[in-house]
Amino acid sequence: MIIEILRLNHRIARDKRITTHVGLTSRSLGASAMYYSGDKDSEMENSINKITEKFGGPFIIEHVKNEISLIKEKKKQGYIISHLTMYGISFEKYIKKLKNEKKQLIIVGGEKVEPEYYQLADYNISVTSQPISEVSALGIFLYNIHGIKEDFKDAKIKVIEQERGKLLKEF
């Protein structure tokens, strides 16, 4: 299964931590790429790339200038487009179907999401119909369609689980 994320309308001054957390959540729960639009943010990209370098991948991050073109191209390539929005249909109604989709692009918003995204999406999906962080909505959604991913290629560091303390194994 290929899962990729599109984060809309990144604003450096306002969204630096949120977009970083969208990327980290995406990577740790099985996505292989995150595209983002809005302000190009090399510092945020470097932060996510450093985590990927240490803890493994694959995971790429890429700024896109035309997110509509990206969505249309992904559709041509056979991707299912899911837009996470509190205004959508409960993800629980689609989860069984989405678990079986081979290629998915998941859109998470930033500031105002224009109506065109709702029209382009195959599914407008809500995790809850209440205001919610895009990071938590994405995490819940990815966990439900993919579960936990622990097998990362090229990892230089791995966390060794234990009840107390912190233990890292370096490769």
pLDDT of residue 46: 96
Instruction: Could you please state the CATH topology (level 3) that the domain comprising 2-170 is classified under.
Output: Alpha/beta knot (3.40.1280)
pLDDT digits (tens, 9 = 90+) for 145-170: 988 877 788 889 988 889 999 999 88
Q: Say if CB 120 and CB 160 are below 8 A apart.
A: no
Q: Is the pTM of this model over 0.85?
A: yes
In this prediction, the residues of the chain whose per-residue pLDDT falls under 50 are none
